[in-house]
Structure 1
Amino acid sequence: MNSRENQLKAFDRLLTIMDELREQCPWDKKQTMETLRHLTIEETYELGDAILENDLEEVKKELGDVLLHIVFYSKIGSETKDFDIADVCNSICDKLIDRHPHIYGDVIVENEEEVKQNWEKLKLKEGKTSVLEGVPKGLPALVKANRIQDKVAGVGFDWEESSQVWEKVEEELQEFKDEVKLGNKDAMESEFGDVMFSLVNYARFLKINPENALERTNKKFINRFQYLEGKAKSLNKDLKDMSLAEMDVFWEEAKKI
C-alpha cells in the first residue's frame, strides 16, 4: 500500500487537475452544484452496485468518481469564497472528534450500541430539535425507514427483543389481510406500508440491511429471468408464446447456476 506521503501527493495531484479542468475545459467550467447533483447520485449508486458485486477493482474506480465530485463541489465553493477542500476536511474532522468523546475525551463506552446512543445525544446538544432531522427527505422509502428506526433506537426508542418485533410483523400482516378482504385500497396501502416498516425493523434487529437484501434479490431475479430469455431465444421461441410450465423448467435451471 502507498505511504501517507504518496497518498497526500496523489490527493494534491487530483486537486491540481481539478484546478486545470475548471480553468481550461469548457464542460468543467460550465458546471454548478445543481448540474452536478444528479450525477453525484448516479455515481453513488454505481459505487453501491460495485460493493454488492464485491468487485473491488470497480469499487476503487467508483470511489474515485465520488471523490472527484467532492473535490469538484469544493472547488466551486472556493470560487464563491464560501468554503474550500480544507474547510470540508476540517469540518468532518471536527465533527468526528466531537462525536467520539470515548476516543478524544473521557467518556467510557462498553459497546457499539452505546457509541450510537451517544452520537444521537450529542447531535441534539448541537442544536438539532429532533433526532430525525438528519434523515434526508429524498431518500428512497426503504432506506429512509431503516435510517428512521436506527436513529430513534439511538435514543432508546426501541424494542427489547427480536421476538417482539416479529410479533409486530405478524400483527401488521393480519391487519393487512383484513383490509385486503374488505377491499379498501387506501387502507390496504396504509397497512402494507406498516408491514414493510415492521419488516425493516425486524431486519435491523437481525443485523440485515434491508436495502442490500432487496437489491441482491433484484439482481438474482434479473439474472434468472435473463437466463430464461436466453433459453427461449435459443429455441426460437417468444416468452409470450410459452406456457408457465415451460418457463418454469428454465427458471429451475437458472436457480442451480
Structure 2
Amino acid sequence: MITEKQRERAKIFSNMHKERKMFVLPNAWDAGSAVVFERAGFAAAATSSAGIAYALGCPDGETITFDELLYVVERMAQRIGIPLSVDAERGYAETPEGVKENAKKLLEAGAVGFNIEDGLPDGTLSPLDFQLDKITALVELKRETGLDFVINARTCAYWLNVAGEEGNFEIALKRGNAFADAGADCVYVPGALCEETVAKLALGIKAPLNVILNGAFHDFAKLETLGVRRLSVGSSPARFIYGQAIEMSRALRAGDPSLLLGTKFSYASANEFFA
C-alpha cells in the first residue's frame, strides 16, 4: 500500500533531480547502513545491488532472488525517513510486464525510485527496444499508482566497455536520449569517465545525468558545474566495510585482536546510535 508519507518522499526525490545542483546519493546494503547514511545528513539513499549481494554472501549480478531483495528494501524503508531508490538491476524478470510487477512490489515495500539497466551477464547490452519497453512499463506504473517515483535508466556501455571510448560514447548518447524520450527521469552512465566525457554526456543527453564515483574524475564542484545532477557511490561503501572486516578477520585468526579491541564504537554507543 502506498502511503501519503511515501508520496511526499517521492515528490522530494523527484524534485532533487530537477534542481540545478548535484546531489550525492549514498548506496546502502542493509537497513543499518541506510540508517547510518540518513543520520549523516543525506537527503536520500539508494540500494547497492552489489552491496546487498555481498551482504547475503553472493557476487553481484542478480545472483540473489527477488524475494531477498524485496525483504532488504522493506527493512530499509521501515527504518529510514528519507527517500529510498532501489537498484533493480535488469528488473529480476524476463519481460517488461514482469519488471513492472516487481517494481510494483518494491513500491509497496517503500521504494520511490528505480535503476533499470541494460547490461547482460555476457558483457553485452540488451536490445534497445527491449529496454524501452521496460521503461514504458514503468511509466505505465507511474500513471496507475499516481506515484511520481524516479525512473533512472542505466546504460552499461562504459561499465562493460562494449565498443571502446568513441563507440561507448555514441551508444551512451543514443541510448540515454532514447531512454529519456521513453519517459526516464534520469539517465545513469556508470564507468571511469574522464572530465571531457562527462561534459559531453551532460550536454548531449536530454535528461538529468547520473554518474558513479570513480578514481578517474571525482571533483564534486567540477562535476556539478559540468551539469551532473546525481552522483552515486555504488558498492564502494560496502566494499570499504567488507575490506576492513576481511583485514580484521585475518588478524583475529592470526591471534591479533587489536583491531577489534581498538574500536571506539562501543556496545553502548551502537545501541544508542541505532535506537
Give the TM-score, by structure 2 length. Answer: 0.27
Q: Which has the higher contact order (CA 8 A, sep 6+)?
A: 2
Q: Decide which structure has greater helix share.
A: 1
Q: Decide which structure has greater strand share.
A: 2
